[in-house]
A and B are shown apart, each in its own frame.
Chain A
């Protein structure tokens, strides 16, 4: 093969391979290049071997033609965040090269498509450059029939060669992916892959030695956060959903539309967000816990109906795949700024449950938990995820579906009598009875958004409103009593506790680990149940001198973000402070460390 260029960086890469336990690879190209599928293949490969993987995708908001990146972190131990800087950058175009070279680690390797990229003098001395004519070599390999199309698979072959990955397993995966399509498509993919694997110039197979992991792990499945939410809902017995397209929620509705019929269910695409939440509530009323979901703007539209479900005590699951806001905001970027609307969106006192998923695996289990809580407490349950986990692909231990999957038979057994809003049962949740349920004393329930008496008939009586408000609030207190104990990562007590929620969990725990290995004692607490909060938080907080809440949202007028605001209101504890980020990008481990150190220094200086 010709047309290759190598430049040796000053900092001394040589033919001796570096032994590494993990590697972060960033692929930068355009959205139509299919670079995400490289990540998908690597993630699946990891799921079938001893390696762990985490991938991160950035999709452009333009439909086609925009820049797109995909980052894969491949490790032999547990990988808990997608990685900050890349060890290897694949740059397919000049703009990919120019925009991402800064994200390489010191001594990183830059692989570029020499058909499209002209390296810059300044960087040539700083990073090891390997120019490979990816475009023309791909055309050569697959016969020039599908220009640009096989580039991603060719690059996958290059990566397999570079890191001595299991090519037999990868070929099997390619077979599974393309085997159902035409024979020629499969052959093209296989040709491109094998050509990539065969590429040997520049000694690329001797650059790295990726350590093998420990013992073979149990079976793993590989999926994105959005997929995990969808399948979690199905496992929990959700058989009806309704929604309206919006990024990044749409994947979930597409999945449910496609998959639910296999289980006897339906997902309906509605004319708008209000119709979709209403249809879901209607189906829940019909006896099947139903789901609706959206991202920021759509959630705003749904709030009146969600308030109705709180008032009428009808179960409902609401998925909010958060994106940058307010208004149309940053549709394809990550932010954790919908916590307030999940907690408080809507008028009146309307207590609802709010859970936040921390990674792809947790999306699966959080969806299940949400359905079970909605069912048991007859209440709307929000599940917050965000753009970062929604599109990220991870491998996780295969769930035991036989024990997890719920039987969803509709229960219409007759009851002697039924009060939909029974006050005599203490503070316990009301059990919803769907239409078709015979009430033998002939007194049937009305479910309603008007304040009501125990049978659901309108009542403006003050004592009744007090009792009903308490009933709706107290079931969340009962739920709080049932929550598992909170887990502190790192030392049980000390100077600083970092608190996070949602997708910041990975970087947060890694930051604690990294700081710990440098001798700075720091602990972390990740909160999954945000409303109601676990009962044990104050005792945990009391064991630390400072509590910093790390969030991807604005510190606001008073200097703390949305979760920090909740915690301050709850515990009236001025030691709770915010460390916030509004860059619409996920937290990097290094950034957390830097910001925490800065704050500690500032506070030491003013003390």
Chain B
């Protein structure tokens, strides 16, 4: 540790501590292939933690299974590498029971929209407070080039040698229709924009979802060149007059052809699952005026005599 003064301070003074250094928050060297877009997301996550001065012990990183889901091993903080597709459910349990933490969940397109598709829809509609960043590379990378739920039509994979023909999922449209309250899109090629989106997501009180295009150089190289000015593409931001509370407008923008738009498509305020459950608790506990649990249970047992 570089900062001994920090170490001597008790947890509750976390707010006054110096932000963690990049060195302190860095763990294993990522197992990703050279040039993988996920590196960019990882370094922006470090930046965000430092910028927001999140106390080291409160950084909570959850992931499922996939290349991108290796994420927690590369962050020197409390981390969870859960099972395939269910990271959001795990993170929901953590978030609802630990309102003091801001939970970050990371995953890929297979985790989010295929095996975990149901959880994506329900976490969005329940508006569980957390940030979910999906590193979308349009292909299964860890298992070496099978069609993913976001693979574009015609993509030649090992499971569609002749080119994918199942309609791909549009993550923005899926999130908006499922009831997500913060829906944004960015790309690993624009780190400044990525940090901006993560910052805004963390400010959002609710389920904040970011799709980050993240190129798989091994199995789908060049997939996102159209969105990268350095490769002759265009990184097209949202129209200046876009009202992010306008669901229909957001949906229309999400329907534009690839590479589409980048920025916050949709953002509204709706009570979070966390707040609603806390409200139920407050109402229920109010009646017992701070009585110890054993007396509350005794009152129930007295009715069962």
Contact = CB atoms under 8 A, between A and B. Distances in A.
A450 B305 contact: no
A262 B284 contact: yes
B305 A220 contact: yes
Most buried by B among A259, A284, A442: A442
A278 B89 contact: yes
Interface string A61-84: 000000000000000000000000
Interface in A258-314: 259, 261-266, 268, 270-272, 274-276, 278-288, 290, 304-305, 308, 312
Interface in B67-110: 72-73, 76-83, 86, 89-98, 100-101
Contacts of A265: 281
Interface stretch (B212-220, B239-247, B255-263, B290-298): B290-298
B81 A436 contact: no
Interface in A322-355: none
A312 B280 CA distance: 32
Interface stretch (B52-60, B156-164, B186-194, B200-208): B52-60
A61 to B, nearest CB: 26
Contact of B97 (A223, A240, A305): A240
A308 B122 contact: no
A489 interface: no
B80 A401 contact: no
B73, B97, B118, B119, most chain A CB atoms within 10 A: B97
B92 to A, nearest CB: 5
Interface in A397-427: 398-399, 401-402, 404-405, 408, 412, 414
Contact of A285 (B94, B121, B296): B94
B252 interface: no
A435 B90 contact: no
B97 A288 contact: yes
B142 to A, nearest CB: 12
B96 A268 contact: yes
A282 B92 contact: yes
A263 B76 CA distance: 34
B294 A401 contact: yes
A47 interface: yes
Q: Contact residue range for chain B? A: 35 or more
A580 B283 CA distance: 50
A264 B80 contact: no
Contacts of A281: 82, 90, 93
Main secondary structure of the interface of B (DSSP, over half): helix
A331 B170 CA distance: 39
Given A264-B285, A274-B86, A442 B56 contact: yes
Contacts, number: 203
A412 B280 contact: no
Contacts of A239: 97
Nearest to A458: B73
A48 B305 contact: yes
B56 A446 contact: no
Interface of A is mostly: mixed
Contact of B297 (A234, A285, A449): A234
B1 A441 contact: yes
B57 A280 contact: no
Contact of A446 (B11, B55, B72, B303): B72
A221 B300 CA distance: 10
B284 A446 contact: no
A388 interface: no
Contact of A287 (B1, B11, B96, B98): B98
A511 B64 CA distance: 52
A402 B294 contact: yes
A285 B80 contact: yes
B283 to A, nearest CB: 7
Nearest to B122: A271
A399 B287 CA distance: 24
Contacts of A51: none
Given A275-B86, A438-B56, A405 B93 contact: no
Nearest to A265: B281
Contact of A275 (B27, B97, B119): B119
A176 interface: yes
B49 to A, nearest CB: 12
B28 interface: yes
B10 interface: yes
Instruction: State the 6 A-B residue pairs at the shortest beta-carbon distance, nearest first.
Output: A282-B93, A278-B89, A261-B284, A279-B93, A435-B78, A405-B294
Given A235-B297, A457-B73, 4 more contacts: A262-B296, A265-B281, A266-B280, A286-B94
Interface of B: 1, 7, 10-11, 24, 27-28, 55-60, 62, 72-73, 76-83, 86, 89-98, 100-101, 118-119, 121-122, 273, 277, 280-281, 283-285, 287-288, 292-294, 296-298, 300-301, 303-305
Interface of A: 44, 47-48, 176, 219-223, 227, 231, 234-235, 239-240, 242, 259, 261-266, 268, 270-272, 274-276, 278-288, 290, 304-305, 308, 312, 398-399, 401-402, 404-405, 408, 412, 414, 434-450, 456-458
18 contacts: A222-B305, A223-B304, A234-B297, A262-B288, A266-B281, A274-B89, A275-B86, A283-B96, A285-B94, A290-B97, A401-B301, A408-B293, A435-B94, A436-B11, A436-B57, A444-B79, A447-B80, A448-B80
